[in-house]
C-alpha cells in the first residue's frame, strides 16, 4: 500500500522474517531516473541490515497493478534483488511469492543457481 510507483503503477510489498522473529517490510520506491528505483525486497533487506539484522529466515513478496481491486501477480524477485539475497542468505532461504490466496515457495538456490558470492572472492 505504501509503494511509490507513479511510473509503472505496479505496487510491490515484501515482508522479511529475520531469525530472531522480527519482520521488516519494504515497498518499491521509484524514481524519474528509472535505474534509481529500489525494489520492495531490497528496501526490506536494507532496512533490516541497517538495523543490525544479519540472519534471515524467509521473505514473502506480493505485487500487482495499483488499481484497488486489480488481481495480484506472482511477483518474482528481479536479478538484482536475488543477488542481494545471496549476499545475506543461505541457499535454502525461502522466497514466498504470494498471489493472494495462493502461494509459490522457492529457495534462493532455485531462483539463483550458480550464484557469484563472497566465497568466490576468498
Ligand atoms: N519490483 C519490485 O519491487 N520487486 C520485484 O521483484 C520486481 C519489480 C518493482 C520495481 C518497479 O518499481 C516495479 O516493480 C516495476 O518493475
User: For residue 11, which atom of ligand 1 is closest to its CA?
Assistant: 14
Over residues 104-122, mean pLDDT: 96
For residue 71, the model assigns a pLDDT of: 65
Compute, in angstroms, the gap from residue 21 CA to the centroid of ligand 1.
26
Beta bridge partners of 18: 56
For residue 30, the model assigns a pLDDT of: 98
41 is catalytic: yes
Element (H, E) at 46: helix 40-50
Q: How sure is the predictor about 101, in pLDDT bands with cuts at 50, 70 and 90? A: confident
Is residue 73 over pLDDT 90? no
The residues, any chain, with a CB within 8 Å of residue 109's CB and separated by 6 or more, are 91, 92, 115
User: For residue 77, which atom of ligand 1 is closest to its CA?
Assistant: 6
For atom 1 of ligand 1, which residue has the closest CA?
39
pTM of the predicted model as reported, rounded to 2 decimal places? 0.95
Distance CA 114, CA 111 (A): 10
Is residue 69 over pLDDT 70? no
Amino acid at each position: 500500500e505504501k509503494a511509490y510507483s507513479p511510473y509503472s503503477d505496479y505496487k510491490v510489498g515484501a515482508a522479511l522474517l529475520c531469525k530472531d522473529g522480527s519482520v521488516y517490510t519494504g515497498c518499491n520506491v521509484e524514481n524519474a531516473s528509472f535505474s534509481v528505483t529500489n525494489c520492495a525486497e531490497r528496501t526490506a533487506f536494507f532496512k533490516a541490515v541497517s538495523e543490525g539484522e544479519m540472519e534471515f529466515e524467509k521473505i514473502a513478496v506480493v505485487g500487482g497493478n495499483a488499481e484497488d481491486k486489480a488481481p495480484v501477480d506472482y511477483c518474482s524477485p528481479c536479478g538484482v534483488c536475488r543477488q542481494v539475497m545471496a549476499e545475506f542468505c543461505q541457499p535454502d532461504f525461502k522466497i514466498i511469492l504470494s498471489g493472494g490466496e495462493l502461494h509459490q515457495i522457492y529457495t534462493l538456490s532455485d531462483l539463483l543457481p550458480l550464484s557469484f558470492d563472497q566465497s568466490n572472492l576468498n
